[in-house]
Amino acid sequence: MKRFLVCLLVLVMTLFAFGFAFASTLDEIKARGQLIIGTDATYPPMEFHDENGEIVGFDIDLGRAIAEELGVEAVFVDTAWDGIFPALDAKKFDVIISSTSITEERLKSKEMSDPYYVTSQAIAVLKDNDSIKGPEDLVGKVVAVQIGTTGDLAVSEIEGVTVKRFDTIDKAYMEVLNGRADAVVNDLSEVAYRMRMLPQMKIAGTFREGEDRYGVTMRKGDVELLQAINEALRKIKESGKYDEIYNKWFGSNQ
């Protein structure tokens, strides 16, 4: 009998260990009680540090709402954009919520949620620059971008543009302000907000209208978590919580 009980105990422990080893990311999140979110907090009004050093923004409020729907707390990890995807793969956090555009290339290696925000690309120039009104006018010009963003990808496809890449979008604007670049190209959501703080600059034009769609990013294979987040997004939109967050950062959601 003793031998039988010992064998049974070993079997139970083995099954427990096996189940723990193969627990899904969603199971781990719920057991932990936290949804750990990677974000590059240099991108107002989506994610940035306020005057008190706190991470705030549209994506931050949305991340908290998603975590609430999952029944857990949201924890944010500020991570430089150029290392954010490797950090996700290394399990430094569970998801990325950081104005991450859904692209065919990203979908090859990542799971991405249903779109939660749609925007365009915008061109920002100095106020007295009337030579640039659209993407065709960027030919022969120097354009500053944040490396690896859809703005970077968009201008890289325009033949004849000299692209200057920076690890943060702030540095791209400084390049224009200091006369070392002709324009900045970035998501309209960020550029429109930035113009409030940079009276020396203006939006010269937009392109790829409505083509840029943001999604929550997960590791490839985290299908259960993907389904849970899509369901959370659906509930947030149906409840009116999404509009509440949108209105806080952008005004009326028309």
pLDDT in tens, 130-186: 999 999 999 999 999 999 999 999 999 999 999 999 999 999 999 999 999 999 999
Q: How far is CA 26 from CA 38, 127, 200, 244, in A?
A: 16, 49, 47, 27
How far is the first Cα of the chain from the last one, in angstroms, to the nearest whole number? 72
Q: Does domain 119-212 have CATH number 3.40.190.10?
A: yes
Q: What are phi and psi of 93, to 5 degrees?
A: -155, 170
Q: Report the topology of domain 24-116+215-250.
A: D-Maltodextrin-Binding Protein; domain 2 (3.40.190)
Q: What is the pLDDT of residues 58-105, one digit of tens each?
A: 999 999 999 999 999 999 999 999 999 999 999 999 999 999 999 999
**Residue among 208, 239, 203, 236 at smallest CA distance from 97:** 236
CB atoms within 10 A of CB 219: 19
Question: What pLDDT does residue 8 have?
Answer: 46
Burial class (CB in 10 A: 0-12, 13-18, 19+), 3: exposed
Question: What pLDDT does residue 4 have?
Answer: 43
Question: What pLDDT does residue 252 have?
Answer: 55
Q: Do domains 24-116+215-250 and 119-212 have the same CATH topology?
A: yes
**Residue among 101, 126, 136 at smallest CA distance from 207:** 136
What is the separation of C-alpha 139 from the centre of its chain, rounded to a whole number of angstroms?
A: 29
Q: What is the mean pLDDT of residues 22-31?
A: 92
Q: Spell out the domain ranges in the chain.
A: 24-116+215-250, 119-212
pLDDT above 90 covers a percentage of the chain that reads: 85
**Mean pLDDT value across the chain:** 91
SS3 37: strand
Q: What are phi and psi of 211, to 5 degrees?
A: -90, -20
CA distance 214 to 39: 13
The sign of the torsion formed by the CA atoms of 157, 161, 164, 166 equals: negative
Evaluate if residue 230 carries a pLDDT over 80.
yes
